[in-house]
Amino acid sequence: MKPYPLLLASGALLMQGAALRAQDEKPNIIWITCEDISPYMSVYGDRVVSTSNIDRLADEGMRFQSVYTTAGVSAPSRSCIITGMYPMSIGTQHMRTQIETPEVSRKIGVPPYSAVLPDYVKAFPEYLRRHGYYTTNNLKTDYQFIAPVTVWDECGSAATYRHAPQGQPFFSIFNLFITHESQLFEQSPYFDEHPELLVDPADVTLPPYYKDTEEARRCMARMLSNVQLMDFHLGQIIEQLKQDGVYDNSYIFFFSDHGGTMPWMKREILERGTHIPFIVKFPKGAHAGTVNDDLISSVDFAPTILSLAGIDIPDYMQGQAFLGSQASMEKRQYVYAARDRLDECYDRVRSVRDKRFRYIYNFMPDRPKYMNITYRLGIPMMRELLQLHEEGKLDACQEDWFKPTKPQEELYDVVNDPHELHNLVDDPAYRGKLEELRTAFRRWMDEVGDLSYMSEKEMVTNWWHGQDHAPLTGEPVLHKVAGGYTLSCPTKGASIGYKILKPGQENGKVKVIRQSYDSGYVIGKQPNGVEEETDTPWQVYQEGTVLHLNPGERLLVNAKRIGYEENVKTFNF
């Protein structure tokens, strides 16, 4: 079979601009996402890092100032983004469910699992596909569950809108990895690829919760250098979009999956762990150079994309659209976040933020704020912080992370105390605000539910009906009807994908050329330009659709409820 073209190919391989022109009712939508980064970029006021491509995107679009994620770490946050649901309400709150190391699994007493979502919850790109969109994701998923084949037309290192049939609207994601926490590790491949720092450690400004050391400055300079490299890769994608004729007539989103990166940033549900950069470039230059200061949560992303695509937002989604025909007329008063298990360490914390204040409720005040996560020890600065703590060389502000206990409630004036150092919970002057946010917290918990009232092991046991493995999705059923065949599955909430293979087609595979947009997933693995084999897209089966099959053809059917094992069956004709 002929390989798919390289993503950054020459003009001969470019799609015709007219074929990619966004339709008014179904516009093309592109997400360029990065990892683990707060708004450390010049357009958001950073005076050290240079982010000319991000700045230009903001000049040509709308810069959002107050966007927050529902978690301070990737997998729970990404589960929210892909479903429009708070992680704790659907069982995706623990980092992470597909546990990567046996040591962690043994320590917590929970096997790796794919979260079993409520039967009515879907990953939102499936709704786009049902309404005519071509959906692609290059490359990361990390949703806390294995996605059904119905979510993406393409998901992998060669996935691109360029493979969309001519005239079909598309939703396309490009993930940039270079700002991930792991790229601060001394064994990171990026240290070999980019040994030089683009930011001088002497120029950085350390927050007061860090001791001013050479190691801390070098870590922050590395983080900002990675932001600058990420900006370069984003610029490459933007240039491709312009060459392909899709830039002007598409919605282009840029954002991070959560804040953080450095110690005591990532994983926290403070400002530094949940506040993210967020920019939207509108079709035809609408709203260019504008700034939006509305409070927005990442639980709002899924309904907003459906709103822009003209697709009815499902009632179960817990977010609200902020763009498009279904944008909420009522602005958010609060945004919420949660943290639970992080790798091998358990905690349970919830937060509420309004335009000025943040309230935090600690369910486990007998534990320190610091969690001794093995993975994070790969950062040299983290090891230094622990040594400074042991030697008693941290001041009261820096030592607060390591205190053996924490207050049950915290209240911060984020505007006047941006690093959230001064807990106002006992200050009578803020009693009214404390009670307001405490009430908002309890109302939110009641409205969305919180599965962390039970242990993680109990939650998984309930999903698996007491067995030691996930349930199997019911076998897909083929029905003969007038004019052809229909499909069904006895498992409520199962998504059904199918392929019709012509005679001579063996396995429904296609050759592709690997091409991701930075080397984060490539170094030490397969390099770009390598030919790989992947699935051709599964079609999304919609109830009542009549399939027409001819002698010699084969029907491949894949049925899967999220969290269950998939059930695949072949029908020969």
Q: Are 319 and 81 in contact (CB under 8 A)?
A: no
Residues 6+ apart with CB under 8 A from 435: none
Q: Are 131 and 309 in contact (CB under 8 A)?
A: yes
Q: Side chain identity at 219, as an amino acid letter? A: C
Residues 6+ apart with CB under 8 A from 260: 36, 37, 38, 72, 73, 181, 266, 267, 268, 272, 273
Q: What is the pLDDT of residue 535?
A: 81
**Rounded to two decimals, what is the model's pTM?**
0.94
Residue appearing with tokens 């597909």 = 98
Residues 6+ apart with CB under 8 A from 417: none
Low-confidence ranges of the chain (pLDDT < 70): 1-24, 188-194, 516, 518-527
Instruction: Convert 343-360 to b/e letters by CB count within 10 Å (16 or more is b).
Output: bbbbbbbbbbbbeebbbb
Q: What is the pLDDT of residue 525?
A: 55
Instruction: Kindly report, residue by residue over 306-356, the tens digit of the pLDDT.
Output: 999 999 999 999 999 999 999 999 999 999 999 999 999 999 999 999 999
| Longest alpha-carbon distance in the chain | 80
Q: What is the pLDDT of residue 238?
A: 96
Residues 6+ apart with CB under 8 A from 105: 99, 111, 112
Residues 6+ apart with CB under 8 A from 8: 236, 240, 515
Question: If we measure between CA atoms, which residue out of 287, 258, 252 comes closest to residue 275?
Answer: 258
Q: What is the pLDDT of residue 526?
A: 61
Q: What is the pLDDT of residue 524?
A: 45
Backbone phi, psi, residue 360, to 5°: -130, 135
Asked if omega into 96 is within 30° of 0 (cis), the reply is yes
Q: What is the pLDDT of residue 67?
A: 98
The domains found in the chain, sorted by start residue, are: 20-463 (3.40.720.10), 477-572 (no CATH)
Structure tokens at 72: 């301070």
Going by their DSSP bridges, the two strands 62-68 and 296-297 should be labelled as: parallel
Exposed, middle or buried, 448 (CB in 10 Å: 0-12/13-18/19+)?
Answer: middle
